[in-house]
Structure 1
Amino acid sequence: MAFAHSPFDSEVQNGRVEGKGKYTFPDGHVYIGDFKDGQFHGEGTIHFTSGGKYEARWAAGLAVAGTYTFKDGLKYEMDGWDYCTESDRRFYSERVNGFRPGEPQLSNDPAGPPTIPVGTYDVGDGFYDPKDGVVHAYEGGDSVRVPEEQEKEWIVT
């Protein structure tokens, strides 16, 4: 059973989300996994709209242990992190696939960085246009979000 007009798509027992299910956050990120007494509990993964994911073991809504994996497959490691260091500036795709002959790779995406309009700033989840103060999607230019003033200042400096 799912709640009517709810971000949950899950089993419900005694008015609480229980068992396997799905929760969609207001920003579009999605948790798929176990619930107990209305909270993330057990094994579950948050899938981020950017393409990354956080796979974790949850207890009463808190992540007890987990692993973040970036969109390109790179797993984040708290200890011994050796990606993008002073001694090795290669992109992850170059570490996995080697260097391609020809033009240099300018982003971690072997297809190249997204094309953004002149006068805007690439912020990772879209491009920021200082004219309207909004982050837009790379494809289509739809509004993605409005950054807070502190982030706007950081983007343009």
Structure 2
Amino acid sequence: MDHTGSYYIGHRVNGRLEGKGTYTLPTGTKYIGEMKDGMFHGKGTLHFPSGSKYEGTWDHGIAIEGQYTFADGLEYKEDKWHYCDGYDRRFYTEICNGLKPAGISQLTNLDPPRPIPDGCYDCGDGFYNPETRVVVDYKHRFLRNADDDEHERIIRTCRKGWDEIVGFIPKA
């Protein structure tokens, strides 16, 4: 393990990461593939803790082409991307498995949705606590501190861990 919390298992040349190997970042993201002079170089795959992956070709640490696949198997397409557009708002699992009967809503692509801790939001890659402004992954490990823009986006758009009455409330 190095001073960043990352570690590497694989080939080395003159002490440098070179050849095939596995480089694991402190976040749990793993790169499995070719290295050159300590950088991703050649063919390799980034495996994210969420289960998604990016298979690509790298040139001295920069991805030059590749394919991103979400954890549920949905492949991202840069051109002609029709998933979750203005015309079809189904989750990918609904496209694959069909819609639920009328009156039973699917709230997330994961069904049933994961429970959200009290006072927190589900922000897509983890839970956000607006009091501490910290995002943790779904295993409650620190991911990042939210800046003002991310805080506002999460508060405005993400699922809450509590019920909230909205709309007209008649007087008793």
Shorter-normalised TM-score: what interval? 0.7 to 0.9
Please state how far the C-alpha of 1:60 moved relative to its aligned partner: 1.9
Deviates most, 100-109 or 2-11 = 2-11
CA deviation profile, 1:12-69 (whole Å, cap 9, x unmatched) = 1112112110111232211010112222111100111222110001122221210000
3-state SS of 1:54 partner: strand
- Higher-Rg structure is 2
CA distance in 2, matches of 1:138, 1:53: 17
Match of 2:44 in 1: 44
Match of 1:145 in 2: 144
Q: Which amino acid aligns with 2:106?
A: Q
Consecutive unaligned residues of structure 1, counting only runs of 5 or more, are none
3-state SS of 1:105 partner: coil
Q: How does 1:57-68 map to 2 (within 5 A)?
A: 57-68=57-68
CA distance in 2, matches of 1:95, 1:88: 10
Match of 2:117 in 1: 117
Deviates most, 11-20 or 111-120 = 111-120
Provide TM-score, normalisation by structure 2.
Answer: 0.78
Q: How does 1:125-140 map to 2 (within 5 A)?
A: 125-139=125-139
Q: How many residues align?
A: 154
Is residue 2:25 matched to residue 1:25?
A: yes
Give the superposed CA RMSD.
2.4
**Using a 3 Å threshold, how does the CA distance of structure 1 residues 81 and 147 change in structure 2: closer, same or farther?**
same
Percentage of pairs with the same residue: 49
**Using a 3 Å threshold, how does the CA distance of structure 1 residues 117 and 6 change in structure 2: closer, same or farther?**
closer
